[in-house]
Chain A
Amino acid sequence: MSAGGGRTVRPVAVASFAQSQNVRRDDEHNEVEMLMPVVAEVFGNIGITKDDVDFICSGSTDYLIGGPFSFVTALDAVGVWPPRAESHVEMDGAWALYEAWVLLQEGEIDAALVYAFGRSSPGNLNEILSLQLDPYYLAPLWPDPVSLAALQARALIDAGKGSEADFAAIASRSRRDAMSNPKAQVAKDIPPATLLEEDYVVAPLRRHALPPITDGAAAIVLAAGDKAGLWSKSPVWITGLDHRMETHSLGARDLTSSPSTTRAAEVAGVADGPVDVAEIHAPFAHQEIIVKQALGLDDTVTVNPSGGPLAANPLMSAGLIRIGEAAASISSGRAKRAVAHATSGPCLQQNLVCVLEGE
């Protein structure tokens, strides 16, 4: 397998998953200090050390803290001497997991550590995320991510595919479900009707439809075949994985659908069997409607039992966490088959779909 994603040829499992406490502001620790406990936990869960993995891949962006090469110094949290095979993507950690999975499929490696971290609190996210846009036509206007998401939400309402009440229902359910997630940042039981009394941040999005600003980190150990069985009593197998992207020209996209998610879901084989749980990386409430439809999921599927990104949205980790939480749904017996989704870019520009199954 060399041409990107698809169905698994070589069995590869999520052998371990760990995440930090998701908080609004961790201004005590540098990246290394934030990651170290997470890396220790993800290895400790299955009784291995850094010497048991033969590849390390991470996802982060230096723009968040304004510190160049923080992704290099972050490796100190793992310990990389003698020199280790290592890679980094300026993407959510879900894409780092993809890179590791491809190497596993190709037989280059047998086990990998994937981690991601992001501290959003040191800077101004509205400005920082504007800089990921087209530098000629969009970035000079400084359109913030909430405004762009609001344009998408309005288009969804105009198309009759969702309503403000729907957005409130999604936010209410997510944060209620998060009450059973000890790592969640925002967990509370507020009925949709109460949420609809909030002011708009950027209409038609009210405060509840926005993700929290989060500092956090996460890590996953991927292992192939026998090694996964050796390390984990109940390995969760990745049966399909793919990612696709759309044009960065917002005005050339239909913002009410997600063809890249649909294509990734087809390639990853979402429809090959029943889906019990979907962990959807929809930072803004209305985006859950778009992604759920693009994945071809009906209302029998439990969406984001962890609370999802509306309960904690650590940038660069939130997508990787969806894969970890989907795997956790299977290990806990809640699901037999689960789908995890990760997104990147404005208005769901890039999407990754991962299908997971138990033994």
Chain B
Amino acid sequence: MTDETVTEPLGPVTTLATPIRLDFEFTPGVAQSRFLRGLEQGKFMGQRCPKCGKVYVPSRGSCPTDGVPTTEDVELANVGTVTTYCVVNVPFAGQSIEIPYICAQVLLDGANLSFMGLIQEIPTDEIRMGMRVEAVWVEREELKPSLASVRYFRPSGEPDADYETFKEYL
């Protein structure tokens, strides 16, 4: 390879760049806004279905089972159970966390829906289903209406949860 510039005849056109950029003004809606505002205050807010009693966090405003509005706000615990997990070893574009890391489904105490969380402060080979974890938040002045307010989850030190208590949420 040299630095010389060689002018070659251009071949036929085989590809066309068609970049797309669109701007939106997004709203998460009323129910999800309550969840996000909860995060801004350092707490997890869910909503309960008036029909089946299940608590969703976050709630999109309806019970996905019954199709009725979820209107009762419920504050959830800062601790929960790892229902399942994976260890990420593969780098990808936009990755902001050093690999390997643990990605887990966390079922907060009092909730009937798990959500995805990052698990830290534990070697990746020690993670297990049923592990009890607690949320670690950013500094109070850095709290925002965003999941970025939760830095990660870490082991809470409690004994593991019994499989029977979370098998419905896998």
**Which residues of chain A have a CB within 8 Å of any CB of chain B?**
27-33, 36, 39-40, 50, 63, 65-67, 73, 75-81, 121-124, 127-128, 131, 135-136, 139-140
- Please name all residues of chain A whose beta carbon is closer than 8 Å to the beta carbon of B31 when the two chains form the complex: 30, 33
Docked Cα-Cα span, A300 to B7, in Å, equals 71
**Closest CB-CB distance, B71 to chain A, in whole Å?**
11
B67 touches A29 (CB 8 A): no
A28 touches B27 (CB 8 A): yes
Docked Cα-Cα span, A76 to B32, in Å, equals 14
Looking at chain B's contact residues, the main secondary structure is mixed
- Please name all residues of chain A whose beta carbon is closer than 8 Å to the beta carbon of B16 when the two chains form the complex: 135-136, 140
B65 touches A79 (CB 8 A): yes
A131 touches B63 (CB 8 A): no
Which of the residues A33, A73, A121 comes within 8 Å of B30, measured between beta carbons?
A33
Minimal Cβ-Cβ distance residue in B for A30: B29
B66 interface contact, C-beta 8 A: yes
B61 touches A122 (CB 8 A): no
Give 10 pairs: A residue, B residue, CB < 8 Å, sorted on A.
A27-B27, A30-B60, A40-B68, A50-B67, A66-B22, A67-B26, A79-B67, A79-B68, A124-B22, A135-B16
With contact pairs A30-B32, A66-B24 given, residues A73 and B68 touching in the complex (Cβ less than 8 Å) = no
Minimal Cβ-Cβ distance residue in A for B21: A127
Which of the residues B18, B30, B65 comes within 8 Å of A29, measured between beta carbons?
B30
**Closest CB-CB distance, A124 to chain B, in whole Å?**
7
Pairs of residues from A and B, 7 with the lowest C-beta to C-beta distance, nearest first: A79-B67, A30-B29, A81-B65, A66-B24, A76-B64, A33-B61, A122-B24
A131 touches B20 (CB 8 A): yes
A140 touches B18 (CB 8 A): yes
Docked Cα-Cα span, A28 to B65, in Å, equals 23
Looking at A40, A63, A76, which has the most chain B CB atoms within 10 Å of its CB?
A: A76
- Please name all residues of chain A whose beta carbon is closer than 8 Å to the beta carbon of B164 when the two chains form the complex: none
Docked Cα-Cα span, A127 to B64, in Å, equals 33
- Please name all residues of chain A whose beta carbon is closer than 8 Å to the beta carbon of B62 when the two chains form the complex: 32-33, 36, 76-77, 79
Docked Cα-Cα span, A124 to B68, in Å, equals 32
With contact pairs A36-B62, A76-B60, A79-B65 given, residues A28 and B24 touching in the complex (Cβ less than 8 Å) = no
Docked Cα-Cα span, A31 to B28, in Å, equals 9
B30 touches A28 (CB 8 A): yes
Docked Cα-Cα span, A79 to B64, in Å, equals 4
B64 touches A80 (CB 8 A): yes
With contact pairs A122-B26, A124-B22, A127-B22 given, residues A30 and B66 touching in the complex (Cβ less than 8 Å) = no
Which of the residues B22, B29, B67 comes within 8 Å of A123, measured between beta carbons?
B22
B69 interface contact, C-beta 8 A: yes
- Please name all residues of chain A whose beta carbon is closer than 8 Å to the beta carbon of B32 when the two chains form the complex: 30
Which of the residues A63, A66, A131 comes within 8 Å of B26, measured between beta carbons?
A66
**Closest CB-CB distance, B27 to chain A, in whole Å?**
5
Which of the residues A32, A78, A136, A140 comes within 8 Å of B29, measured between beta carbons?
A32
**Closest CB-CB distance, A70 to chain B, in whole Å?**
11
With contact pairs A30-B32, A136-B16 given, residues A65 and B26 touching in the complex (Cβ less than 8 Å) = yes
- Please name all residues of chain B whose beta carbon is closer than 8 Å to the beta carbon of A39 when the two chains form the complex: 67
Docked Cα-Cα span, A56 to B30, in Å, equals 25
With contact pairs A30-B27, A76-B67, A122-B27 given, residues A128 and B61 touching in the complex (Cβ less than 8 Å) = no
